[in-house]
Amino acid sequence: DAGVIQSPRHEVTEMGQEVTLRCKPISGHNSLFWYRQTMMRGLELLIYFNNNVPIDDSGMPEDRFSAKMPNASFSTLKIQPSEPRDSAVYFCASSLNVGEKLFFGSGTQLSVL
Amino acid sequence: GNSVTQMEGPVTLSEEAFLTINCTYTATGYPSLFWYVQYPGEGLQLLLKATKADDKGSNKGFEATYRKETTSFHLEKGSVQVSDSAVYFCALRESGGYNKLIFGAGTRLAVHP
């Protein structure tokens, strides 16, 4: 299996631009998670889905952030408009079932100038 | 709310030294506890886990014991190697519900030859 695939690996954009991060979970996994990692705040859970349905989005920082999972093999995290404080590494992770371990992608390094 | 507290890094050791990274947690009920490791430029990987009090998780020479009386899950290794250099995250999964993990801030370990 190819594991959790995230794209792009790196993204550099200017403040005010729209940013879309993509994730393909491991085939057959029914839970998907978006995390953000920064030096100041560590690893924060933004949102997670179970069977394509958002379960908890309380970690989404503000309305500029949105996430979708239109089908079992694809999810997006969108920031519109982006701000410099959004600069971070964004990780997607998936798991097979409740209680199973998380498999993380390699992350997207986002820099907003 | 539930939380995880780890000792601050970085931890710098010589090869073959003994390693301890402290982790304590606050949680209701009976959470499961985990250690994840992040190598440079990669996503997190599960290192070991324990699902109930007094369980010992172990993997690759690392071990941690779930101590409910002290709400701790300290990571230990008897003899570290340069290849163990990474960031280590302690995490808990709340009892019941979905596979939502709460991570500590991470502890960077640097092992020198």
How many Å apart are CA A62 and CA A55, to the nearest integer?
17
pLDDT at B96: 66
pLDDT at B94: 79
Contact residues on chain B for A97, CB-CB shorter than 8 A: 99
Asked if A106 lies within 8 A of B43 by C-beta distance, the reply is yes
Asked if B101 lies within 8 A of A102 by C-beta distance, the reply is yes
Average pLDDT of chain A to the nearest whole number? 93
**Sequence-separated (6 or more) residues with CB below 8 Å from residue A20:** A76, A77, A78
Kindly list the distances between the CA atom of residue B77 and the CA atoms of A104, B23, B24, B50, B63, in Å, as whole numbers in the listed order.
Answer: 24, 14, 18, 16, 7
Dihedral angle, C-alpha A59, A107, B9, B51, nearest 10 °? 70
Q: Closest to A102 (Cβ–Cβ): which among B42, B99, B104?
A: B99
Number of helical H runs and strand E runs in chain A: 0, 11
pLDDT, average across residues A84-110: 90
Label residue A40 by pLDDT band (50, 70, 90).
Answer: confident
Bridge-partner residues for B87, per DSSP?
A: B38, B108
Q: Is the pLDDT of residue B99 over 70?
A: no
End-to-end CA distance of chain B: 41
Q: Is the pLDDT of residue A39 over 70?
A: yes
Asked if A91 lies within 8 A of B98 by C-beta distance, the reply is no
Q: What angle do CA A23, A21, A13 make, to 5 degrees?
A: 155
Contact residues on chain B for A56, CB-CB shorter than 8 A: 98, 100
pLDDT per residue over A56-80, tens digit each? 898 998 899 999 999 999 999 999 9
Q: Can the peptide bond before residue A25 be classed as cis, meaning omega within 30 degrees of 0?
A: no
Backbone angles phi, psi at B21, to 5 degrees: -120, 120
- Supply B49's token pair: 């886990």
Q: How far is B66 from chain A (nearest CA, A)?
A: 17
How many CB atoms lie under 10 A from the CB of residue B74?
Answer: 18
Alpha helices in chain A (DSSP H): none
pLDDT per residue over B1-50, tens digit each? 788 999 888 999 999 999 999 999 998 888 999 999 999 888 899 999 99
Find the length of chain B.
Answer: 113
How many Å apart are CA B85 and CA A4, to the nearest integer?
23
42-101 in chain A: CB under 8 A from chain B: 42-43, 45, 48, 50, 55-56, 91, 93, 95, 97-101
User: Do the beta carbons of residue B56 and residue B3 sit within 8 Å?
Assistant: no
- Supply A106's token pair: 């390699």
